[in-house]
Amino acid sequence: MSQRARATISSRNARKQKRQQPSPPPQNAKITEQPALSKQYVPSLSLLFRIFSIVRIVGALTSPIQDCDEVYNYWEPLHLLQFGTGKQTWEHAPQYALRSFGYLYIYKYLVQALHFVLGFRSKSQVFFAVRISLALFSSFCEALFVRQVAKNVDRKIANYTILALFGMAGLFHSTGAVLPTTFAMHFGLLATAMQGESDFWAVFGFSVASVVGWPYAIVVAVPFVLEALCVQRNNGSRLKQVGCLFGLLFLMSTALLLPMVLVDSWHYGRLVIAPWNQVSYNVLGHLGGSSQLYGTEPWYFYFKNGLINGNIVMLLALLSLPMWLTHYIVLKTQVRDTRLLTAHTLLLFRILPFFLVLLVFSLQPHKEERFLSLVYPHMCFNAAVVLSLLQPLFMWCLVLVTKARRQLGINATNTHLAWATRMVDRFSICALAAAAVIGVLRMAALSKYYGAPVKAFMLLPKHGKDAGILPLGPSIKRALFGTTQPLAVPAQVVCMGRDWHRFPSSYWLPQNSTLVFIQTDFNGLLPGDFFAAAKHGQVSTAMQRTDFNALNEWEPSHAIDRSEIGVCDFIVDTEPYVAGLRVVGCERMLDAEHSSVLGRVLYVPELVVRLFGIEQQWTQMCVYQKTNENS
């Protein structure tokens, strides 16, 4: 056979093999991204920061504190560090030492820096300054995360993530909290953004999140470690690569833990590693107690909570793993593109944090709503991944249908593919828009239905009227204008009864006021009082206490009997107190226990409530003042 004939046959065989090879479906991740999508517009870091700041600052100013644990375990000790008084929980007793004072010094120094410039005149200004600062930091973390998604994953996923983050009700109320879970969420998000970009900053973020913030946040770092084990980067040994990461993690964790241990040991008067004490109590059951004493929840608690705070976004996020697996099977069996398959495998490590946290925390008997906030941004990302993978899978199905029709002799064209692409895009936008609308209704419900405690405490006389700069350190205002210290006011006792868990913190008490609890039918351990720093010095926290226990047992010295309410200058409660008391004012609040699910979860206009008979029961939180006759 001549050389020309062999070349002709070879050419024909090549064309035949090319015709038999299945056409790959359109891809949409950068690991699988279409050229058209690579040009999709994504807002700049600066613009994203400003967009997120709007929602986060509104949340910081209007959303109520969701958990009394934030008040008594973080705001109150911070108030002690700044003003010398505050309510104390058993976790801050030196014999238990579950909470870190080192963590609180971050906020103390933040306030001092802001006070130097702004010169705070009231404690409520300090309260909002901390929350707004956290909201701005969260906005930066979210903006950087989105930009890195656009750069390293896919621009369409980045844009979908923006929409999901913007309407997420869970982030609305959690980003301004002083909780370690929020702190861990921020730095965990920064670490995730740096994953694949800079190992150093990724390890730093995970270390700060778990050592300084919340020890259980290390769960979010597991996919990062798995990726290092499974994917070889650069040209070095994989074992060497993993060894370097663990070495870096150890060095950073040690460097971060050392100052925390020094601060906590000074405050507690003995060597204390607070993160270990917390894990020892909650996981190992040491210290004679268990977290289950404070309530257990069914396995589906976080699924229900995710639906309340994430609605459609939560549903989509739960579909991300099945959707990823479906896409993987298509790439493996039909497309057979090694590059796309490897890139799609990398996407798995990005969606795993959400599922790992959901799995690990759901297996624990004791559950708290705030625990899930660790992966709220990851929930938004996973939802965006689902919507992004929906298009190529749908297109691949249409291609199969078209081929099947052609084999049956039915005339079929690919002209409907462009129409299908537009329909999938519109569906995705509508789904995220609906999620945002539901999210806004949830945000409005939190502010309108449950904001009464702060409003009620603002009714207390002398609140916010201190004519001077707070003693929080040097201030430019005092240096320039010579403003005086806050005016001294008479000591007052403010009491709370069954609504003790709604106390918005001592930052809402007038100057020189003390909070006292009135005994009710509650039989658990109420918070006590820190020894005043003005009397005992800054290490008053190291003084041994016998009025705390780890068994959640009632301590009579932490409350007064109802017959002793004469010591109260004011009472703030939803329970009516009439004998010898004058009503200063009341604030309307929803009674969640006696309202329907829809009526308590989402904001519903009163007209709609009346038209459809939605059940909403209301109560009032009132401020009562002792009269002269009762003095």
Q: Which secondary-structure segment (H or E) carries 586?
A: strand 581-590
Q: What is the pLDDT of residue 294?
A: 75
Q: What is the pLDDT of residue 412?
A: 55
φ/ψ (deg, to 5) at 64: -75, 160
Q: What is the pLDDT of residue 359?
A: 96
Q: How confident is the model at residue 394 (pLDDT cuts 50, 70, 90)?
A: confident
Query: What are the pLDDT digits (tens) for 202-216?
Result: 999 999 999 999 999
Query: What are the pLDDT digits (tens) for 287-329?
Result: 666 677 777 889 999 999 999 999 999 999 999 999 999 988 8
Q: What is the pLDDT of residue 19?
A: 43
What secondary structure, in 3-state letters, does 535-575 show? HHCHHHHHCCCCCCCCCCCCCHHHCECHHHHHHCCEEEECC
Residue 75 DSSP class = I
Q: What is the pLDDT of residue 289?
A: 64
State percent of the chain over pLDDT 90: 63
CA distance 160 to 428: 8
The answer to whether residues 100 and 260 touch, using CB atoms and an 8 Å cutoff, is: yes
Q: What is the pLDDT of residue 346?
A: 87
Query: What are the pLDDT digits (tens) for 139-185?
Result: 999 999 999 999 999 999 999 999 999 999 999 999 999 999 999 99
Query: What are the pLDDT digits (tens) for 467-505?
Result: 588 888 888 887 777 665 555 667 899 999 999 999 999
Q: How confident is the model at residue 340 (pLDDT cuts 50, 70, 90)?
A: confident
The answer to whether residues 267 and 101 touch, using CB atoms and an 8 Å cutoff, is: yes
The answer to whether residues 396 and 22 touch, using CB atoms and an 8 Å cutoff, is: no
Helix (H, G, I), strand (E, B) or coil at 624: strand
Cα 224 to the center of its chain, rounded Å: 20
Is pLDDT of 9 > 50?
Answer: no
Is pLDDT of 16 > 50?
Answer: no
Is pLDDT of 136 > 50?
Answer: yes
Q: What is the pLDDT of residue 14?
A: 47
Q: What is the pLDDT of residue 35?
A: 47
Tell me whether strands 28-29 and 87-88 are parallel, antiparallel or unpaired: unpaired
Cα 97 to the center of its chain, rounded Å: 24
Ranking 332-341, 353-362, 511-520 by mean pLDDT, the lowest is: 332-341
Q: What is the pLDDT of residue 489?
A: 63
Q: How confident is the model at residue 423 (pLDDT cuts 50, 70, 90)?
A: confident
CA distance 8 to 418: 37
**Tokens standing for 235?**
């040209």
CA distance 280 to 231: 34
Is pLDDT of 187 > 80?
Answer: yes
| Whole-number Cα distances in Å, 48 to 74, 136, 205, 522, 534 | 30, 12, 21, 47, 45
Query: What are the pLDDT digits (tens) for 580-597?
Result: 789 999 999 999 999 999
CB burial of residue 623 (10 Å; 0-12, 13-18, 19+):
buried
CA distance 407 to 172: 54
The answer to whether residues 294 and 324 touch, using CB atoms and an 8 Å cutoff, is: no
Q: Mean of the pLDDT values across residues 560-589?
A: 88
Q: Mean of the pLDDT values across residues 72-76?
A: 97
Beta strand spans in 177-269 (E)? none
Show Cβ contacts of residue 469 under 8 Å, excluding neighbours closer than 6 positions.
119, 120, 121, 475, 477, 478, 483, 484, 485, 486
CB atoms within 10 A of CB 174: 26
CA distance 293 to 524: 10
Q: Mean of the pLDDT values across residues 269-297?
A: 82
Q: What is the pLDDT of residue 287?
A: 67
CA distance 365 to 128: 34
CA distance 183 to 304: 23
Residue type, 134: L
Q: Mean of the pLDDT values across residues 623-631?
A: 75
The answer to whether residues 572 and 530 touch, using CB atoms and an 8 Å cutoff, is: no
φ/ψ (deg, to 5) at 99: -105, 145
Q: Mean of the pLDDT values across residues 83-102?
A: 94
Average model confidence (pLDDT) for the chain? 86
Cα 543 to the center of its chain, rounded Å: 34
**Tokens standing for 167?**
């309407």
- Residue-wise over 527-558: b if at least 16 C-beta within 10 A, else e? bbbbbebeeeeeebbbeebeebbbeeeebeeb
Query: What are the pLDDT digits (tens) for 232-259?
Result: 565 556 777 788 888 999 999 999 999 9
